[in-house]
Amino acid sequence: MANILLIEDDDRLSRLIAKGLQEAEFEVSTAYDGMTGMKLATQKDFDLVVTDIVLPKKDGLDFCKEIKTLKPNLPVVMLTALGTTDDKLEGFDAGADDYLTKPFEMRELVARIKVLLKRFSQQQQRQKVFVLRYEGIEMNLEQKIVNRDKISIKLTPKEFNLLKFMLENSERVLSRSEIAEKVWETHFDTGTNFIDVYINYLRKKIDKDFAVKLIHTKAGMGFILKKDYESDIS
């Protein structure tokens, strides 16, 4: 059930919209001025905001500009009696994702909300593919940036690919032959210490300066990326 924040200063209209959204199986929280709306939007996790433009204390345009700076992935629908092209452009320039002019049909508002929720959900799924995370490690696959606890870590291309494979398979023991095949795309003699050398390179950059060690060796089996693991070799 999507959680929607409704910001509307007209009490009667607010109750009507909230009722319509609840009948469409949305969870609704309400605010009657822009300041309260901003406070709620920053303190709680909402899936979408529906806001009027003309509001007490903080208008909808300023609200939209601020919340889009803080939460760019939070969709905003503007409801307003200001329906000229310039008004709509001003709303979109403030960051609104959709704009509905009063009076409107509840069915249209619900339909637009569903479209926006689907679009933003798909966008977030695509974004997630480009960032791998595990216990403070964050790897941006597009920008080729790695951080641990917000500290930048510079890796060579092979170290980057090795860590990427371990992040994709965290908390699973990876054999040397599997690492060789997936990271180096080769089947060289696993009796050599080639993989061990690169694991040690990675350890020095990922674990050395941090209290919690994440890269562990399982004797005779391989390596694992895991917090609080009883490793055979420190």
Does residue 28 lie in a domain region? yes
Q: Are residues 9 and 122 in the same domain?
A: yes
Does residue 232 lie in a domain region? no
Q: Are residues 8 and 122 in the same domain?
A: yes
Domain final residue, candidates 86, 109, 129: 129
Q: Are residues 84 and 147 in the same domain?
A: no
Does residue 233 lie in a domain region? no
Looking at residue 151, its pLDDT comes to 95
Contact assessment for residue 59 and residue 96, using Cβ atoms and an 8 Å cutoff = no
CA distance linking residue 67 with residue 65, whole number of Å = 6
Q: Are residues 157 and 100 in the same domain?
A: no
Summarised one tens digit per residue, pLDDT across range 54-63 is: 999 999 999 9
Looking at residue 85, its pLDDT comes to 72
192: domain CATH number is 1.10.10.10
Q: Are residues 20 and 114 in the same domain?
A: yes
* Confidence label for 88 from pLDDT (cuts 50, 70 and 90): confident
CA distance linking residue 223 with residue 203, whole number of Å = 11
Half-sphere exposure of 12 (CA within 13 A, CB side): 0
ω before 103 within 30° of 0 (cis)? yes
Does residue 145 lie in a domain region? yes
Does residue 234 lie in a domain region? no
Indicate the number of domains in the chain: 2
Contact assessment for residue 91 and residue 61, using Cβ atoms and an 8 Å cutoff = yes
Contact assessment for residue 224 and residue 233, using Cβ atoms and an 8 Å cutoff = no
Q: Are residues 83 and 96 in the same domain?
A: yes
Query: What mean pLDDT is predicted for residues 138-148?
Result: 92
Q: Are residues 94 and 151 in the same domain?
A: no
Distance from the first to the final alpha carbon of the chain: 46
Does residue 213 lie in a domain region? yes
CA distance linking residue 188 with residue 185, whole number of Å = 9
- Using alpha carbons, select from 142, 134, 143 the residue that is nearest to residue 227: 134
**Full-model pTM:** 0.56
Domain final residue, candidates 76, 109, 129: 129
CB atoms within 10 A of CB 90: 16
Query: What mean pLDDT is predicted for residues 118-135?
Result: 79
User: What range defines the domain where residue 34 resides?
Assistant: 3-129
Q: Are residues 105 and 148 in the same domain?
A: no
pLDDT higher at 184 or 178: 178
Q: Where are the strands (E) in 172-221, listed by range?
A: 215-218
Q: Are residues 142 and 45 in the same domain?
A: no
Residues 6+ apart with CB under 8 A from 153: 146, 147, 205, 206
Summarised one tens digit per residue, pLDDT across range 97-123 is: 888 988 889 999 999 999 999 988 877
Query: What mean pLDDT is predicted for residues 198-210?
Result: 94
What average pLDDT does the chain have?
A: 88
CB atoms within 10 A of CB 175: 15
